[in-house]
Each structure stands twice: as C-alpha cells, then as structure tokens.
Amino acid sequence: AGVELSPWFYEIPHEDVVFETGKSVVRDSEAPKLATAMNDILAVLEKYGADVKLQLFVGGYTDTVGDIASNLQLSERRARAIASWFRAQGFERPIYYQGFGERGLTVQTADEVDEVQNRRAVYIAAAEPPPVTEALPAANWKRLP
C-alpha cells in the first residue's frame, strides 16, 4: 500500500477582467468582477485557511495579436495589476503573479488573431505553487510585496 500526495490547489471561477488594448490598468468598471472573485477567494480561505497555508496565484494570458515578447510582458503587468487589486482590498496572505503571454491559449488561433477568450487570467488558491501544466506552462511566480 502507498500514499500519493499531490499539491492542493483550487482555481477560483470568475468573470475575466477586460483591459483596454495594450494596457494593464484595472478600470473602475471592472472592479465588480474582481470584488465577486475576492468574495469567492475569501470563502475558500474561510473553509480551508485553518488547514492549509493558503496563498493566491494570479496568472495572466494574452491573445496572439502582437509579438510574443511584448505579450509576455503585457500578461505579467496585467496579472500584477489584478494581484495588486486583491492586496489593496485586504487580502493579507502571500500573493504571487506570473504572465504566460500567448502560452496556454484557451482557443487555438493563428498568429495575430484577436480572440477575447485568450485574454484572460486565472486565480488559484493553493498551499504551494501550482504544478506546471499545459494551462500553466511555467513556474516563474513572483511574490507581490
């Protein structure tokens, strides 16, 4: 007999924040989406926080419009903006962010295709960094101060 241990994490369902093209500022009109996600994150914290050293991981993605390097930087700025919003609203546990750019597309497209479903973010409540997968193609999480 054996025991299989796997990292605990939960992806928070949410409505994606819509950013202006090429920008990474969370507009006031998008705040209600983040407020709803924050309530869901706090519910997970309340349910599991006593048993798990809960941390929040925010990953950002872009569509394929623009070059790969610029999209990677843009997705990281957007992930950081969302992470900073959660911090400003009082989430006191560790928050990490990372941009994945065009990697991990929800809808596979050719280059230079404006696909709204690929401009997204993930919010993951986890005990440790989530594992690298096709949807989370790297583990270069940066801690938000």
pLDDT in tens, 83-141: 999 999 999 999 999 999 999 999 999 999 999 899 999 999 999 999 999 999 999 99
113: tokens are 């295709």
Q: Give percent above pLDDT 90 in the chain.
A: 84
pLDDT band at 8 (very low <50, low <70, confident <90, very high): confident
User: How many CB atoms lie under 10 A from the CB of residue 53?
Assistant: 12
Contacts of 37 (CB under 8 A, 6+ apart): 12, 14, 15, 123
The reported pTM is 0.93
Contact 42, 83 (CB under 8 A): no
Q: Rounded mean pLDDT of 54-69? A: 96
Strand order in the sheet with 95-101: 9-11, 121-126, 55-61, 95-101, 142-143
